[in-house]
């Protein structure tokens, strides 16, 4: 005896192939918000393009199209910010692009700028950092010598490791950065400063 129409299973559940596709897509879709949250707030892999960070990253940028891939920690990007750290940030000139640069000066530091900057010396204001590329030629990098100190709010993460190519895989040891002779360090950061009583 046939079942009434309100009891019959739908066409979707009578066909195993359609049922499998439906449940597979549903399962994948349920993970999408978690993946987006992870990429936007926890960590992501980022491809480094261009010569700006040469020779530290993209060491063979002029002989091949291969790009370095780095691991970016995006959880609390400004926490523990130090001179020498490599960061990923939104470009002040092209806000749709993320760029990778080295922090060479913190708030309160004085920087002797390169030729492309309009003034000879700049003091990094509160809530900002001075970032530069590694390339020895000024024209090969757009950095703070072009657009000035960068607001910390543009920094999206700290670059922690190189994951590709295999020959360079490993943790980035920013602690080995010796500093830049063009930076006159502030006696205190703004967070450490205590006004006299």
Please confirm, yes or no, whether 52 is among the known catalytic residues.
yes
What residues does 157 pair with on adjacent strands? Answer: 88
Among candidates 86, 83, 88, which has minimal Cα distance to 180? Answer: 83
Catalytic one among 101, 115, 116, 167?
101
Catalytic one among 52, 82, 152, 187?
52
| Lookup: tokens for 41 | 């707030």
Please confirm, yes or no, whether 153 is among the known catalytic residues.
no
Angle among Cα 109, 135, 108 to the nearest 5 degrees reads 5
**Pairwise CA distance, residues 16 & 129, whole Å:** 58
| Lookup: tokens for 18 | 């359609």
**Pairwise CA distance, residues 145 & 57, whole Å:** 20
Coil, helix or strand at residue 51: coil
HSE-up (13 A, CA, CB side) for residue 186: 21
Active-site annotation, residues = 52, 101
């Amino acid at each position: 005896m046939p079942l009434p129409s309100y009891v019959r299973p739908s066409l979707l559940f009578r066909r195993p192939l359609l049922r499998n596709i439906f449940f597979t897509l549903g399962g994948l879709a349920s993970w999408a918000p978690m993946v987006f949250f992870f990429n936007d707030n926890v960590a992501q892999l980022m491809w480094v393009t261009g010569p700006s960070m040469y020779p530290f990253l993209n060491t063979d940028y002029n002989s091949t199209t291969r790009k370095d891939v780095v691991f970016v920690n995006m959880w609390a990007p400004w926490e523990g910010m130090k001179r020498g750290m490599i960061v990923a940030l939104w470009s002040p000139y092209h806000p749709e692009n993320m760029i990778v640069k080295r922090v060479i000066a913190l708030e309160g530091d004085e920087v002797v700028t390169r030729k492309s900057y309009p003034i000879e010396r700049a003091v990094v204001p509160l809530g900002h950092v001075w970032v530069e590329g590694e390339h020895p030629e000024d024209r090969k990098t757009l950095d703070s010598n072009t657009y000035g100190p960068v607001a910390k709010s543009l920094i999206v993460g700290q670059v922690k490791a190189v994951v590709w190519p295999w020959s360079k895989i490993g943790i980035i040891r920013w602690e080995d950065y010796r500093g830049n002779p063009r930076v006159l360090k502030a006696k205190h950061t703004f967070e450490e400063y205590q006004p006299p009583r």
